[in-house]
Amino acid sequence: MILVGKVPGPREPDDLDSFLHPLIEELKQLEDGILTWNAHLKKEIILRAHLIVVTADMKAREKLMRHTGNGSSRYCTYCMAHGIWNGKVYAPLSIPKDAPISAKQRGKWRNLDPLKLPMRKNDQWKRDATRITMQMDWKLSKDTGIAWLSTFCQLKSIDFP
């Protein structure tokens, strides 16, 4: 395992993709394979490499994934549970007993089984992110919690979420 990047705080870069672009381009070449010399076999071989994990704290992960973040109604990067506003956004597993009738009638609240949460899927994530980016579909962005297409979508080895 090789640590290929670290963005120290306290401030984030204005354009994170400008830092990631050279890495992504090199990783795309390595996914396809590059010709290199194998000293042990004493012959040329095709070397392939794939990015297998991206790790970060929650805020950095949201930025890397191009997720709208923990203030949005679909703030979870792993499931599609709909958050509600009560001074801050949260996603209760059951409808609060003291919730106003008007809030219950909006249709966004429902009881959720924690073992059967509506999980996000890679192919749907990428389709939605592509549509949001290409068509500037901000309604879909708000509904899904996806800001736009992540630069990591260019890699074959990365699944979202």
Residue type, 154: Q
Mean pLDDT of the chain: 85
Highest mean pLDDT among 45-59, 66-80, 102-116, 126-140: 126-140
Query: Omega of the bond prior to 8 within 30 degrees of 0, cis?
Result: no
* Structural tokens at position 144: 């899904």
Other residues' Cβ atoms within 10 Å of the Cβ of residue 158:
18
What is the pLDDT confidence band of residue 104, given thresholds at 50, 70 and 90? Answer: low
Contact 139, 97 (CB under 8 A): no
pLDDT of residue 131: 96
CA 2/CA 126 separation, integer angstroms: 27
* pTM of the entire predicted model: 0.77
Tokens 């923990």 map to which residue? 70
User: Which tens digit of pLDDT belongs to each residue from 72-89?
Assistant: 788 888 888 888 777 777
Average pLDDT over residues 24-49: 95
Cα atoms in the Cβ-side hemisphere of radius 13 Å centred on 98? 1
Q: Could you state, in order of their start, the residue ranges of all structural domains in the chain?
A: 19-52, 53-154
What is the pLDDT confidence band of residue 62, given thresholds at 50, 70 and 90? Answer: confident
User: Which tens digit of pLDDT belongs to each residue from 6-24?
Assistant: 777 777 778 888 888 999 9
Residue type, 84: I
User: Which tens digit of pLDDT belongs to each residue from 112-144?
Assistant: 888 999 899 999 999 999 999 999 999 999 889
Distances, alpha carbon 92 to alpha carbons 70, 105, 128, in Å: 14, 16, 25
What is the number of H-type helices and E-type strands within the chain? 5, 4
